[in-house]
Structure 1
Amino acid sequence: MPINAILTDIEGTTSAVSFVFDVLFPYAAEHLPQFVRDHAEQPEVAQQLAAVRAQSSEADADVERVIEILLGWIAEDRKATPLKALQGMVWAQGYRAGQLKGHVYPDAVEALKRWKDEGYALYVYSSGSIQAQQLIFGCSQAGDLSALFSGYFDTTSGPKREVQSYRTITEAIGVPAQDILFLSDIVEELDAAQQAGLQTVGLAREGGVLAGHDTVASFAVIDLTRF
């Protein structure tokens, strides 16, 4: 059966890993402490701080201790939902101020636009928060790409290396799993998606093969007519 929906990862797939690690993470590490201090009483921030306390088993942690925990999580790239949510809030300020512009590979921009024009429904699944995803594409170096996408998924749908996460996303998209193509640079994510019934293509931008999956170095050579 031909595919009619495409689900794509961001980091290492549509966008450079270096943008996340060399631009976004340092920006969050620099600006998150003061952001938390300034906004700790706001409901949406307070909710995430409570989640940090719960996940770290430090129910009585004060704001400065929570900040310390968050900076530790940033350093170890922990896929913690409250961290991702708070990072998204900090990055939103940076994007609004013009201090950040989302990186998206030109070949990804061209392919995503073409696929949208051809009638494919496009979705994003990243460990970054939905807000962070929307900012990367909505405030990208190539302009506002947000209109290309029909939906976004993050770790609230489940970890990216677990089969059930892709079943949950498939149900939300509302088409059979075999009609969805998943793109990622991580073989464990591709394996999980494949086990959930999705079709897969691996992105290896520096060359090489992601074992068990068709592998390409660029969006430009993905041939959707094969599926």
Structure 2
Amino acid sequence: MPIKAILTDIEGTTSAVSFVFDVLFPFAAEHLPDFVLLNADQPDVAQQLQAVRELSGEPQADVVRVIEILLGWIAEDRKATPLKALQGMVWAEGYKAGLLKGHVYPDAVEALKRWKQEGYALYVYSSGSIQAQQLIFGCSEAGDLSPLFSGYFDTTSGPKREAQSYRTIVASIGVPADEVLFLSDIVEELDAAQEAGLQTCGLAREGGELPGHETLASFALIDLTSY
């Protein structure tokens, strides 16, 4: 069946992994303590702090201890939903202040714009929060790319290495699984998407192969008519 929708990962796929690890994570680690201390009583922040307490098994943790837990999770790249939500809030302030600009590879920008013009529906699935995803594309070095996308998915849809997560996303998109192409640089994610019936294409920007999947070095090489 011809491809009708494209679901793309961010880190290592549309955007450099180094942007996340060398720019976004240090920014969050630097600014998150003050952000939490200043906003702990705000309902949306308080909700995430409570989720950290529950997830860490420390229901009585005070705000200072919660900050310590969060900084530890940042250091180990923990895929914890409340951490991602709080990081997204911190990054939002950074983008708004002009301190951050989202990195998106030029070949990805060009391909996504072309696919949108050609009528394909574009979606994002990343372990970063939906807010963080919207900020990377909405405040990118290439300008506001958010109009290109029809929807965003994060770990609230399930882990990226589990097939059920992709079934959930496909059901939300409303397109048959075999008409959705998933793009990622992680073979376990591609395997899970394939198990769920999606078409897959691996991105290996530094070269190499993602076994079991067509592997390309650039968005410019993706031929949607070949699926």
TM-score, L = length of structure 2: 1.00
Identify unmatched segments of 5+ residues in structure 1.
none
Residue 204 of structure 1 aligns with an amino acid whose one-letter code is A
Distance in 1 between residues matched to 2:154 and 2:147, nearest whole Å: 18
Deviation of 1:57 (Å): 0.4
Aligned to 2:40: 40
Structure 2 residue matching 1:123: 3-state secondary structure = strand
Aligned to 1:20: 20
Superposed CA deviations along residues 97-156 of structure 1, whole A, max 9, x for unmatched, are 000000000000000000000000000000000000000000000000000000000000
Structure 1 residue matching 2:150: 3-state secondary structure = strand
Deviation of 1:68 (Å): 0.1
Residue 59 of structure 1 aligns with an amino acid whose one-letter code is P
1:150-165 aligned at under 5 Å gives the runs 150-165=150-165
Structure 1 residue matching 2:140: 3-state secondary structure = coil
Q: How many residues align?
A: 227
Aligned to 1:50: 50
Aligned to 1:144: 144
Residue 50 of structure 1 aligns with an amino acid whose one-letter code is Q
Distance in 2 between residues matched to 1:40 and 1:159, nearest whole Å: 28
Deviation of 1:69 (Å): 0.1
Q: State, as a whole percentage, how many aligned pairs show the same letter.
A: 84
Structure 2 residue matching 1:181: 3-state secondary structure = strand
Distance in 1 between residues matched to 2:84 and 2:65, nearest whole Å: 18
Structure 1 residue matching 2:182: 3-state secondary structure = strand
Identify unmatched segments of 5+ residues in structure 2.
none
Superposed CA deviations along residues 52-81 of structure 1, whole A, max 9, x for unmatched, are 000000000000000000000000000000
Distance in 2 between residues matched to 1:202 and 1:96, nearest whole Å: 33
Aligned to 1:183: 183
Aligned to 1:220: 220
Deviation beyond 6 Å, 4+ runs, structure 1: none
Distance in 2 between residues matched to 1:180 and 1:37, nearest whole Å: 43
1:1-227 aligned at under 5 Å gives the runs 1-227=1-227
Distance in 2 between residues matched to 1:46 and 1:158, nearest whole Å: 23
Deviation of 1:197 (Å): 0.1
Deviation of 1:48 (Å): 0.2
Superposed CA deviations along residues 149-176 of structure 1, whole A, max 9, x for unmatched, are 0000000000000010000000000010
Residue 38 of structure 2 aligns with an amino acid whose one-letter code is D
Distance in 2 between residues matched to 1:22 and 1:221, nearest whole Å: 27
Residue 212 of structure 1 aligns with an amino acid whose one-letter code is G
Deviation of 1:21 (Å): 0.1
Distance in 1 between residues matched to 2:161 and 2:32, nearest whole Å: 28
Deviation of 1:12 (Å): 0.3
Residue 142 of structure 1 aligns with an amino acid whose one-letter code is A
Residue 103 of structure 1 aligns with an amino acid whose one-letter code is H
